[in-house]
Every structure is written in structure tokens, then in C-alpha cells.
Structure 1
């Protein structure tokens, strides 16, 4: 039986890579006239890559990030850690 809490952490370099990629994806969505926040949320919830534009290779970029890693970086940023 599992009675211990598992931990999950990313290295600082990986976090910075994810932030950079997310910014590139955000910018590509904005350039194409989409609401970047809504599109990224749709992608995170569904893991459907069609929420992300192919403009500036954004779809390929975001697919290189594991959703768990992406959520961790977003939550840490939101909470100011």
C-alpha cells in the first residue's frame, strides 16, 4: 500500500526552458489573433494539440513539454514561488 506522499520537482534550467517555450507559444497565439490564455487552458485540459497554432512552430514546441511539468511551472509562478 502507498502511504507516503510522492514528490515531484523540476530543475531550474528546465523551469526556465518551459517558461521560455510557454512565452513563445503565447506570442504565436496572440499574433494569430487567438486568446492565448483560453487556447493554452484548452490544450492543458484536453491535451488536444489543435488548440495551439502551428504558427512559429508553437504546436511542436508545446508538445515537447509534459503537461505535469507545465502545470507545476504555472502553479509556482501563480503562487509566487
Structure 2
């Protein structure tokens, strides 16, 4: 036991910063590999909050649950606007 007059420090390393783009990429690819329609499944998850819309293959389900659903929508909308998809019709 050490000196009782001083405070010991204990650092726990948390998860590295999760990028929403990386989460969506991982989930999309895992869903496609398993034969699901990734867009439909991700929309189902975002709308309902039910993680069973996402496969557990390659850790996709646990990974997507680390990101808030509104962050997923924000990232998707930013990419849509950035690519100006509506101008290519």
C-alpha cells in the first residue's frame, strides 16, 4: 500500500473515435455479403431502433449500436447533399 495522502490515477482507454462513415460502410458491406438489401435494412433500423434489422455478421449490429440513429441520418443526408444526387436525374 502506498502513501494514503496522495491520489492514485487510473486511466482506462475507451473505444477509439467511431466515424459514422466507417460504421455505415461496415454495416452496408456486411448486409450485402449476407444477401440482404442493405438500404432497406438500414432504413428499418433507423426508423424503428430495432437492432435485429442489422446482421450480427462481422460485428455490424454491435457497431451500428455505438452510433446514435440521428447521427446516421445526418451523415446520410450530408453525403446526399454533397453529391447533389437530385441534379443527376
Partner of 1:41: 43
RMSD value, Cα: 1.6
Aligned residues: 67
Task: Mark the runs of 5 or more structure 1 residues left unpaired by the alignment.
Answer: 1-13
Q: Choose the corresponding residue for 1:76, options 75, 78, 81.
A: 78
Return the index of the structure with the highest Cα Rg: 2
Task: Mark the runs of 5 or more structure 2 residues left unpaired by the alignment.
Answer: 1-16, 84-89
Normalized against structure 1, the TM-score is what? 0.78
Normalized against structure 2, the TM-score is what? 0.71
Higher helix share: 1
